[in-house]
Amino acid sequence: MTILGSLDPRARLLVHRPWTPRERRIVWCGLMGRLAIAVEPLLGFVFFALFTWGIVWRAHHVRSDASLIVVAPVFALGAFAFLGYLVAVLVAPVVAYAQTHKPIYIVDGYVRYRPPDEDSAPGECGYVAALFEDQSVACEWRALGKKTYPARTLAAMVEFSTFAGIHTIDGRATGLLPDGDLPLLAIGIAPRH
């Protein structure tokens, strides 16, 4: 079995296509939304870094405030915490957008669904895989959801990307990307629970 999201070497020989401008724009809007959210940790990082620098500068240049240096690590820790928050907010959408420059593969084979196993995390409903004609795995992904997937295999024409998953099955969208265009910052599109 292949590592989840990894591509069988034979898949590199498959027919493939680039992401369409519309598909790439959807991912770009998601990235812009995350950048809007990232303003908060960016400002927090700058604020705490400037406080740290100001305290260190003042402790070294104003003799009466030399003991102030002991609080500088607290602000430096705050700056690093905000920097970590900034990176955490931006990593996934930046990686997702970078993946839009890789191909979408097309295979005339099968789609396999299988239930969760002992390696599945809570909230996962199983696995979905694109299979070659000989039913060997081209690429497989974990699936999230409330209903557990039954074990079944269906003959299908599949379009998939290694990072995102299956885009279409027999020409029908899987819901991986929304049907319409997104607002620039992609705000308010997630379903409310």
Model pLDDT, residue 144: 86
Model pLDDT, residue 164: 87
Q: What share of the chain is helix, strand, coil (3-state, %, to 5)?
A: 40, 25, 35
Residue bearing tokens 């498959």: 14
Instruction: For residues 10 and 138, give the distance between their C-alpha atoms in angstroms, rounded to a whole number.
Output: 8
pTM of the full structure: 0.77
Q: Give the angle subtended at the CA of 82 by the CAs of 80 and 88, to the nearest 5°.
A: 105
Which residues pair with residue 131 across a beta bridge? 110, 137
Model pLDDT, residue 6: 60
Q: pLDDT for 35-44, tens place per residue?
A: 999 999 999 9
Q: What is the mean pLDDT of the chain?
A: 87
The alpha carbon of residue 137 and the mean position of all alpha carbons in its chain are separated, in whole angstroms, by 23
Please, are residues 116 and 126 in contact by the beta-carbon 8 Å criterion?
A: yes
Q: pLDDT for 141-175, tens place per residue?
A: 998 888 899 999 999 999 999 888 999 999 998 88
Q: Which residues of the chain have pLDDT under 70?
A: 1-8, 11-12, 182-193
